[in-house]
Amino acid sequence: MAVLGLRPGRRPMFPPADRIRPGANGLVALGGELHPEVLIEAYRKGVFPWEGRQPIPWFSPDPRMILVPRAFRASKSLEKLARQSKLEVSFDGAFEEVIAACAETPRPRELGTWISSSVIRAYTRLWHQGVAHSVEVREDGVLVGGLYGLAMGRAFFGESMFYRRRDASKMALWHLCRRLHAAGYFFIDCQQETAHLRRLGAVAIPRLRYLRLLDEALDSEDRWPTVLSP
């Protein structure tokens, strides 16, 4: 598979989704830019950036991990924590704090962070445009966990999560799943397969099946305002 070389300023940036041919590790392209319109085009074609440093690597892995909102598995400890009402969950209340916290969170077997300053700028612009969203978890008014991602049609594209208190990020994801399920969302795109996400109910599906589901999810008006309704 020949990796696409993307040139800044070219539109469209990517070929049609059914013509994208990922390599063995899911890499489809290098280069381009993190402008909001490029990111929106990429996600709508089943592609996402891995980091913000040039040349930007763009991926479309096979298989693709997704989480159907109703399939989230809450552990007994998470259910107990929810009953205690110690944590307060909100939506779109502190996007910039959440993405900064995700960037600062160390990841196993990784040096540094893929959430560079250019990534923060690009996704914050998408938040101001109403495309990117955050879930915040607070304890005694202090931010202790959360996540962020993009919402388009009936698909939510999860990007990153963090916690400073045990189970805080899981609480954010659980609340997000409940809201997404009520609003009729089809899936959360978890991108790459991990044992942690599998324990929470996510499953890996073939890339072509993911693209079909994505087309169906995008063939709908934006559902995020419904998500914000309690």
Which residues make beta-bridge pairs with 88? Answer: 138
Residue 111 confidence (pLDDT): 41
Dist. CA 40–CA 118, nearest whole Å: 16
Question: What are the residue ranges of CATH 3.30.70.3550 in the chain?
Answer: 4-60
Q: Which of 16-20, 43-47, 162-166, 183-187 has the lowest mean pLDDT?
A: 16-20
Distance CA 203, CA 39 (A): 24
Residue 112 pLDDT grade (very low, low, confident, very high; cuts 50, 70, 90): very low
β-pair type (155-163, 187-191): parallel
Residue range 22-36, pLDDT digits in tens = 887 899 999 989 999
Among 3-12, 19-28, 130-139, 207-216, name the one with the lowest average pLDDT: 3-12
Q: Give the model's confidence band at 71: pLDDT under 50 very low, under 70 low, under 90 confident, else very high.
A: very high
Positive or negative: CA dihedral 32, 36, 37, 41: positive
CATH 3.40.630.70, domain 65-227, yes or no: yes
Cα–Cα distance measured from residue 70 to residue 111, given in angstroms and rounded to the nearest whole number = 34
SS3 of residue 78 by DSSP? helix
pLDDT at 53: 81
- Give the whole-angstrom CA distance, residue 131 versus residue 202: 23
How far is 69 from 176, CA to CA, in rounded Å? 8
The CATH classification of domain 4-60, taken from the options 3.30.70.3550, 2.40.420.20, 3.40.190.10, 3.40.50.2300? 3.30.70.3550
Query: Coil, helix or strand for 200?
Result: coil
Residue 201: other Cβ atoms inside 10 A: 17
Enter the pTM of the model: 0.93
Percent of the chain with pLDDT over 90: 72
Least confident of 7-21, 133-147, 153-167, 193-207: 7-21
pLDDT above 50: residue 110: no
| Per-residue pLDDT, 10 | 74
Position 4 scores a pLDDT of 74
DSSP H or E stretch at residue 90: strand 88-91
Residues 166-175, mean pLDDT to the nearest whole number: 96
Listed in sequence order, the DSSP H helices in the chain are 36-44, 76-84, 95-104, 117-128, 168-182, 195-199, 207-218, 224-227
Residues of the chain with CATH 3.40.630.70: 65-227
Residue 109 has pLDDT above 60, yes or no: no
Which 3 state secondary structure label does DSSP give 57? strand
d(CA 226, CA 230): 9
For residue 23, give both structure tokens.
């390599």
Token pair 């110690």 is found at 86
